Amino acid sequence: MQWNANGQGSTGLGFTSSGRIIDGSGEVIIGGDGVSRLYYPTDYTGGDAVTASAKNQYLCRLAAAGQIDLPASPSDGDYVEIVDVLGNFSTYALTVSGNGNNIKGLGGDDPSEIHGDDFRTATYVYSALAGYWVVTNLT
């Protein structure tokens, strides 16, 4: 669905099935949780581990198991979103590493948050006050 200020024509804005508002390049303007974020989408096919950049969305089209390492020196409010685009996390496991920081304060890597469930989406937000990554928007 695309709309303009008058509800007509095409502005390049649209909605995703999860309720996010996106611009013409696929960057998320407002997430399904109502929090305004700007994403820079990156395709990831698995195999080699990659270190995520803050404010990035990883569109997983896995052809092999993989690992995404969250930023090692995050700032308060940094976020990374991971999406199982092909719905094959149950076939190819994806490990999400805190890269030296805790995830949800549990003491290290927490691969169980997203791998194993097809079409999973999770957003990791760093809280400097808490000192760890918090998983939000888990669908």
CATH of the domain at 98: 2.60.120.640
pLDDT of residue 35: 53
Q: Are residues 67 and 6 in the same domain?
A: no
Q: Are residues 16 and 81 in the same domain?
A: no
Q: Are residues 64 and 89 in the same domain?
A: yes
Q: Are residues 34 and 48 in the same domain?
A: no
Q: Are residues 121 and 82 in the same domain?
A: yes
Q: Are residues 114 and 94 in the same domain?
A: yes
Q: Are residues 59 and 105 in the same domain?
A: yes
Q: Are residues 108 and 48 in the same domain?
A: yes
pLDDT of residue 39: 65
Could you write out the DSSP letters of every residue in the chain? -B--TTS-S--S-EE-TTS-EE-TTS-EEE-TTS-B---EEEEE-SSS-EEPPTTEEEEE--SS-EEEEPPSSPPTT-EEEEEESSS-TTTS-EEEE-TTSEETTSSS--GGGTTTSTT-EEEEEEETTTTEEEEES--
Provide the domain limits for residue 53: 40-136
- Are 1 and 14 a contacting pair, CB within 8 Å? yes
- Are 58 and 42 a contacting pair, CB within 8 Å? yes
Q: pTM of the prediction?
A: 0.69
3-state SS, one letter per residue, for 46-66: CCCCEECCCCEEEEECCCCCE
Q: Are residues 29 and 46 in the same domain?
A: no
Q: Are residues 27 and 48 in the same domain?
A: no
Average pLDDT over residues 54-60: 92
Phi and psi angles of residue 16, each rounded to the nearest 5 degrees, phi first: -90, 170
Render pLDDT for 63-85 as a digit per residue (tens, 0 to 9). 999 999 999 999 999 999 999 99
- Number of structural domains found in the chain: 2
Q: Are residues 56 and 21 in the same domain?
A: no
Q: Are residues 34 and 45 in the same domain?
A: no
Render pLDDT for 13-43 as a digit per residue (tens, 0 to 9). 445 545 455 555 555 544 545 555 566 788 9
